[in-house]
A and B are shown apart, each in its own frame.
Chain A
Amino acid sequence: DTEVTQTPKHLVMGMTNKKSLKCEQHMGHRAMYWYKQKAKKPPELMFVYSYEKLSINESVPSRFSPECPNSSLLNLHLHALQPEDSALYLCASSLRLDSGNTIYFGEGSWLTVV
């Protein structure tokens, strides 16, 4: 099983809303990632977690707040977003960092900010 599950698949939110994106994997992976992909652009890294601790934050605005409550779950909390934040948000996981392992991606969550 090489599955990364993301919910919801689609989310529409207003600029004053608070919402969350969820990601789950049961492969025993200890590295988890959030990527953002704008239309017709490549994915760009946002955050990396290693053993439930934030390892990399690619200077992401604080209106995006990641959380890793346990080794299987990764959340992305959203608050006071802007229309330009509308994108496909991809979660990924790998066995661990610094190991050169395959990174597996979920199907993504389409976010529209209105």
Chain B
Amino acid sequence: KQEVTQIPAALSVPEGENLVLNCSFTDSAIYNLQWFRQDPGKGLTSLLLIQSSQREQTSGRLNASLDKSSGRSTLYIAASQPGDSATYLCAPGDGNKLVFGAGTILRVKS
């Protein structure tokens, strides 16, 4: 059974900092890994999808890396802004379903 751990559980940083969110998973037999953000009381917004054959994926100030063999992924956020405040969830997928980590609650202070 896939188990996903995200570290840290919460993070509070001043605006402008670069930061790294970590995700580890136990079963490396995955198709891909998705990173999502969730604002309070809202649904999930897909940020990045990394296929199992890829090492990294970039979108704007976001960069996600994947090391499938070691069961790790990181989400790098450059020049953080108050609007980045949200819960960030990673979810490895086996092609049929996603298994979510508990998330990292990010607060960016202005």
- On A, residues with C-beta under 8 Å from B are 6, 33, 41-45, 48, 55-56, 88, 90, 92, 97-108, 110
Contacts and interface: CB of A to CB of B under 8 A. Distances in A.
Given A55-B96, A98-B96, A107 B46 contact: no
A45 B31 CA distance: 17
Interface stretch (B61-69, B74-82, B99-107): B99-107
Interface string B81-110: 000000001000101111111110000000
Chain B interface residue bracket vs A: 20 to 34
A43 B100 contact: yes
A59 B80 CA distance: 41
24 contacts: A42-B100, A42-B101, A42-B102, A45-B97, A88-B41, A90-B44, A97-B95, A98-B31, A98-B95, A98-B96, A100-B32, A100-B93, A101-B49, A102-B34, A102-B46, A103-B34, A103-B46, A103-B93, A105-B36, A105-B43, A105-B45, A105-B46, A106-B43, A107-B43
B43 A90 contact: yes
Interface of B: 31-32, 34, 36, 41-46, 49, 51-52, 89, 93, 95-103
